[in-house]
Amino acid sequence: MAKITFLGAGSTVFAKNVLGDVMLTPALQEFELALFDIDLERLKDSENMLNNLKSSLGSGCTVKAYTNRKEALRGAKYVVNAIQVGGYDPCTITDFEIPKKYGLRQTIADTIGIGGIFRNLRTIPVMLDFAKDIQEVCPDAWFFNYTNPMAVLTNAMITYGGVKTVGLCHSVQACVPHLFRCLGLDSDGVQAKIAGINHMAWLLEVTKDGVDLYPEIKRRASEKQKEKHGDMVRYELMFRFGYYVTESSEHNAEYHPYFIKKKYPELIEQFNIPLDEYPRRCIHQIENWKMMREELVNDKSLTHSRSNEYASYMLEAMETDKPFKIGGNVMNTGLITNLPKEACVEVPCLVDASGVTPTYVGDLPPQLAALNRTNINTQLLTLEAAVTGKKEHIYHAALLDPHTSAELSIDDIVALCDDLIEVHGDWLPKYR
């Protein structure tokens, strides 16, 4: 029996979406769904939930939980990754609270910035351990990465892990529907072209029946910007740089040096920026899980409708050779010609029985490529720190981060990195 392995299967709600989708896909009925998580209680919860779902949906898939990672991976054809190393407590708390002591505020802290750098540093070693297991027991498997920081982790798995990897993120799928819904526009029949890097890809073209919709988008956005709303940072970036960005305003507020500034605290109110947003979400999710657990895990009649997650549609395309288009994170093998070849980029990709085939984009508008490179600099130096074990590259990554370098002095950035290394302790490898 062919196997789909889910790493981080204790993410029960996400496992329900991805593997529930698999159970509803005719071409995937003969697969074993192999579950692995280091949290054995959450692993058991997901196993119970999926077996209930299998029964109520009448699926031909087999559900099996593993406590040995290598055995979970053995013989897998596909691997889905949804881990979070260090969780909310202690690591996310550390990523937010230590920088606050230096006056450095964040919103999400899972991509770049100080929080993104340290999330990478504790996650990359785990991912490369996955890669070693995959090379040994399922070397031909496709690895679908859903874990953030997306660009660096996908890059690490391909460049240093030698694993066939594609990074999958919701921001491309949600970009046009969200924008059009907020502006009162109909997105049916709209054609869009999106490319850049993860969480900072750009809506390069948006048309309907051959008509460019950007003038109307900008007109409506200009009106909407006159009052408070949740997308103010993205609209401001669009007005200043010409194009709408895929990821949310709370994310983009911390990817640039313009919005979260001690010297101009009024900007937080002006652009409606939710500082400390991710810790609030974590607390809310933890409390919600306490209430959801019983009905989700023990409901014998639990059911599911196929979601818009990419995974099952990609698996279906690979198994049936019926092509499916995604926005995927892959290495920049000449795809975006004015971004570095060492970078992981987010571009349209075709999925079929031959795997994932990225499409050529060419040059981005120069201002967009320049913005992307400011984030790529920190991404590549973070990866360099992780693979060399040299502390100096952690400093380099932080010193080149747009938000951090706009707020703190060189000495404070270095001291902040040292404090985070010390407080993270055994969650990080030793740096020299």
Catalytic position from the list 170, 256, 393, 424: 170
CA separation (Å) from 25 to 6, 18, 21, 319?
17, 11, 6, 11
Cα(351)–Cα(378) distance, rounded to whole angstroms? 30
CB proximity list for 235: less than 8 A, separation 6 or greater: 221, 224, 225
Annotated binding site: 148, 169, 199
CB proximity list for 274: less than 8 A, separation 6 or greater: 107, 250, 280
Size of the chain in residues: 432
Per the CB < 8 A criterion, the answer to whether 78 and 4 are in contact is: yes
Q: Is 170 a catalytic residue?
A: yes
Per the CB < 8 A criterion, the answer to whether 86 and 110 are in contact is: no
- What's the distance, Cα to Cα, between the start and end of the chain in Å? 46
Annotated binding site for substrate: 148
Question: Which amino acid is located at 413 in the chain?
Answer: I
CB count in 10 Å sphere of residue 341? 12
CB proximity list for 265: less than 8 A, separation 6 or greater: none
The helix (run of H) or strand (run of E) holding residue 331 is strand 324-331
Q: Which of these, 162, 144, 82, lies nearest to 314 by C-alpha position?
A: 144
Annotated binding site for Mn(2+): 169, 199
Question: Which amino acid is located at 169 in the chain?
Answer: C
Q: b or e along 277-311 (b: 16 or more beta carbons within 10 Å of the residue's beta carbon)?
A: bbbeebeeeeeeeeeeeeebbeeeebebeebebbb
Which residues belong to the active site? 170
